[in-house]
Amino acid sequence: MPFVRAKRPVAAAPISFSIYDEFGQVQKVEFVAQYHRHDHGQVADLQDAVANHARKANGLPPIVRADGTPIPEWGFPSDMAFIREKLAGWREMVGPDGQPVAFSIEELDALVEEVPEAIVPLFNGFFAAHQQAREKN
């Protein structure tokens, strides 16, 4: 099948993680997160900014780009603030009744309230969505 070069409206990544249910049994959580598309420079700025944010929190000096271009400050007060701004939608998300759950900020907040373990995969999913897909061997 030929590749049709066209700008995709969103960048998507599969989200997959496990949680323990009320009986201590492992439950798999899987859906597709859709993020607002960013170009390579924007993603690089965000990656470098979050790296410096983490370094600062650990008392380490900031990274400096080899070409001397400035690294923007991390502009988000929390991981959730980043997710709320970058997440554009989801697929394969269903409610307890088995019906699809339409994406909204309110539904995102409800998901994180019910399953706080989703924060890290959703945060990392933004960067995964903007990388080359890894193929299974």
Roughly how many angstroms between the first and final C-alpha of the chain, as a whole number? Answer: 20
In a domain, 110, yes or no: yes
Range of the domain at 65: 10-129
For the segment 15-57, what is each residue's pLDDT rounded down to a tens digit? 999 999 899 999 999 999 999 999 999 999 999 999 999 999 9
At residue 3, the pLDDT reads 65
Instruction: Answer whether residue 135 is part of any domain.
Output: no
Whether 20 is in a domain gets the answer yes
Q: Is the pTM of this model over 0.85?
A: yes
Concatenate the DSSP letters of all residues of 76-109 into one string.
Answer: -SSHHHHHHHHEEEEES-B-TTS-B----HHHHH
pLDDT per residue as tens digits for the range 73-116: 999 999 999 999 999 999 999 988 999 999 999 999 999 999 99
Per the domain annotation, does 137 fall within a domain? no
